[in-house]
Amino acid sequence: MRANTLIMIVLAGVFGVLAVVLVNVWLANQRSAMARTEDIRRDTLVVAAVPLKFGDTLSADKLREIAWPAGAVPDGAFKTTKDLLTGDGAKQALQAIGVNEPVLATKITGPGQRATLSAVLAEGMKAVSIRVNDVLGVAGFVFPGDRVDVLLTRTVRSDGGADKSFVDVLLQSVKVLAVDQVADESKESPTVVKAVTVEVSTKDAQKLTLAAGAGQLSLALRQAAGSKGETTERITLADLTGDTPDDVAKRQAELEKQKAAEAAAAEERKQANEKIDGLAKAVERVGSQIDQISKAKPIPAVAPAPQVTVKEVVKYVQPEPPARVTVNVFRGVKFESYEVPRQD
């Protein structure tokens, strides 16, 4: 037998024995871990048996109890279904709850309480609605539970008479409670809405109310985990183009001049149209008068005085026929004429 073959056989046997030893050690550790797990004190926890969405009424068939380590029970959890459903009146879900997700007191209403926005408001917070359109509302991609920044766009008149437009970040990381009249966080399809309801403090609610009349509010959707504030600054038209304030003022003056020229042209067109309308009405009045005259009864005509007419009579007199006539006769090649008496 060759030496290389002998060495390979020896190595294979060593590795086989090593694998068996390692497997036995792993199994022993697993048995020890299972034994330690069985020594941990167990408790029960109520979880959702079916997917729940905002406003769903809780009942025993939608919940179930599972084993849970006694020292790891979340705050606000219920140990039994009976404890969860205790109280007069039904309880409803305040947010989406997945299958096998623990049902916490913060995710459901109190006994007999309805699933409304007031039930999901945090302590000391207020709900304020912002009017938006398909663009300002991030094209319908804002859903309940999202975090947004509220931007305020304003146009003010400077001392020089030119208008200045700028955008400020009014509020940051504001929680969206409802979109239009929908507060279901499980809603996934984008919808163009007219209003978004957000959760803010009392002071921020005052800011939003005042800003709604001072300019135009729009939303900027934040990253799901990006709830921290950031340093912001005012953005003006000069930041968009790099122009100086004088350049912006000149451009604004040109725009004002163009608007004035367009207004003057529109006024001239209006006056010309009014003149044309006046002429058309005058022609229409003349036509109506002519129609009235044509429809009126004719005035009887007065017979004129008789006129004497003298007629001249011309009488043709036939002349008397001659008493003799000439007769021409050919005799061979000789021509002869004779006068003979006329016979009637």
Q: What is the pLDDT of residues 173-220, one digit of tens each?
A: 888 888 876 665 556 666 666 788 889 999 999 999 898 888 888 888
Chain centre distance of CA 84: 43
What integer is the mean pLDDT of 128-133? Answer: 81
What integer is the mean pLDDT of 10-28? Answer: 87
pLDDT, residue 315, reads 66
Instruction: State percent of the chain over pLDDT 90.
Output: 3
pLDDT, residue 95, reads 79
54 contacts: CB under 8 Å, gap ≥ 6: 93, 94, 95, 96, 115, 144, 183, 184, 185, 186
pLDDT, residue 138, reads 67
pLDDT at 332 over 80: no
Average pLDDT, the chain: 78
Beta-strand (E) ranges in the chain? 42-48, 63-69, 126-131, 147-157, 163-179, 195-200, 216-221, 235-236, 324-331, 334-341
| pTM reported for the whole predicted model | 0.47
Distances (CA, A) of 239 to 202, 242, 245: 33, 5, 10
pLDDT, residue 91, reads 83
pLDDT, residue 203, reads 92
What number does CATH give the domain 42-115? 3.90.1210.10
More confident call, 157 vs 150: 150
With tokens 């305040």, the residue in question is 94
pLDDT, residue 313, reads 64
Residue 40 three-state SS: coil
CA dist., res. 229 & res. 273, Å (int):
58
What integer is the mean pLDDT of 117-140? Answer: 74
Of residues 101, 65, 62, 56, the one with CA closest to residue 83: 65
Chain centre distance of CA 212: 20
pLDDT, residue 248, reads 66
pLDDT at 141 over 80: no
pLDDT at 340 over 80: no
What letter would DSSP give residue 300?
A: P
pLDDT, residue 147, reads 87
The DSSP result for 232-287, as a single string, is: ---EEHHHHH---HHHHHHHHHHHHHHHHHHHHHHHHHHHHHHHHHHHHHHHHHHH
Q: Which residues pair with 52 in a beta bridge?
A: 97
pLDDT at 38 over 60: no
Instruction: State percent of the chain over pLDDT 70.
Output: 72
pLDDT, residue 68, reads 83
pLDDT, residue 193, reads 67
pLDDT, residue 10, reads 82
